[in-house]
Amino acid sequence: MATSPTSMVKISVDVAFSQNQNVSVSGVVVRDEGGHLLGACHHRTARVQSTFAAEAFAMVHGLEFAADLGFSSVVVEGDSRTIIKRLKSSAPDYSEIGPIVSTAKSIKDRFARCWFRQVCRSMNRAAHALARIGMDSSDDRFWIEEALPAVVSYVAEDRRNLESP
C-alpha cells in the first residue's frame, strides 16, 4: 500500500438494500489522505431485516476491510446519521441493531485511531455506486488500489473537487 502506518485513511461506506429479498450489499471505498484509491469492495449480507441494520452492517464491513488491509488510523464515513450517532455513543444499544453496533465497536478497538463521521449522500457517491453494482452480483468482490470504472470515476471527481479552490 502507498500509505505510511501513521497516515489517516478514509473509509467510505454505503448500502443497497432489498426489503423484498432481505438482502443488503455494503459498498466500501478506501482512500488515502490525498483522496487516492487504496481499495474497494462490495459485500453481500443475507437475512437483513431493515435499512438501519443494512447501514450498520456496512460499517462493520468497512471496518473489517480496513483492518484486513492493515491500516491503523481510519476515519469511517457514512450517510446514516442514526448509525454514526450510535457508533459514537458509549451508552449500551438495546435496539434491534445493538448487536451489529457492538460488533462494529469491537472492530474499532483494533485500530490505534478510529473516528466515525456522518457525511451527506452527495459526498458518498463512490461507495453508493459500488453497493448498487454489488446488488447485481452474487459474489463479494475486493479490489486493491483499483476498482470498477464507475467507482474510479467518482473517486477522481472527488479528488478534483478537493483540489479546486
Q: What average pLDDT score do residues 109-118 get?
A: 96
Q: What average pLDDT score do residues 110-124 get?
A: 92
Q: Is the dihedral of CA 6, 56, 60, 87 positive or negative?
A: positive
pLDDT for the residue 121? 86
pLDDT for the residue 1? 47
| Distance from C-alpha of 25 to C-alpha of 9, rounded to nearest angstrom | 22
What pairing do the DSSP bridges indicate for beta strands 113-118 and 73-78? parallel
Cell readout for 146 is: 483499483
Q: What is the CA radius of gyration of the chain?
A: 15
DSSP assignment, residue 71?
Answer: -
Q: Is the pLDDT of residue 9 over 70?
A: yes
Q: Determine the Cα angle at 56 with ends 50 and 58, to 5°.
A: 105
- Looking at the chain, the whole-number percentage of residues with pLDDT higher than 90 is 79
| Distance from C-alpha of 80 to C-alpha of 143, rounded to nearest angstrom | 25
E strands, the chain, in order = 8-18, 23-31, 37-46, 73-78, 113-118, 141-144
| Distance from C-alpha of 37 to C-alpha of 40, rounded to nearest angstrom | 8
**Contacts for 116 with CB less than 8 Å, ≥ 6 apart:** 59, 75, 76, 77, 78, 84, 87, 88
**Domains present along the chain, CATH in parentheses:** 8-146 (3.30.420.10)
Question: Which tens digits make up the pLDDT trace of 12-68?
Answer: 999 999 999 999 999 999 999 989 999 999 999 999 999 999 999 999 999 999 999
Q: What do you get for the CA distance between the two ends of the chain, in Å?
A: 29
pLDDT for the residue 107? 97
Q: Is the pLDDT of residue 97 over 90?
A: yes
Phi, psi (rounded to 5 degrees) for 67: -65, -45
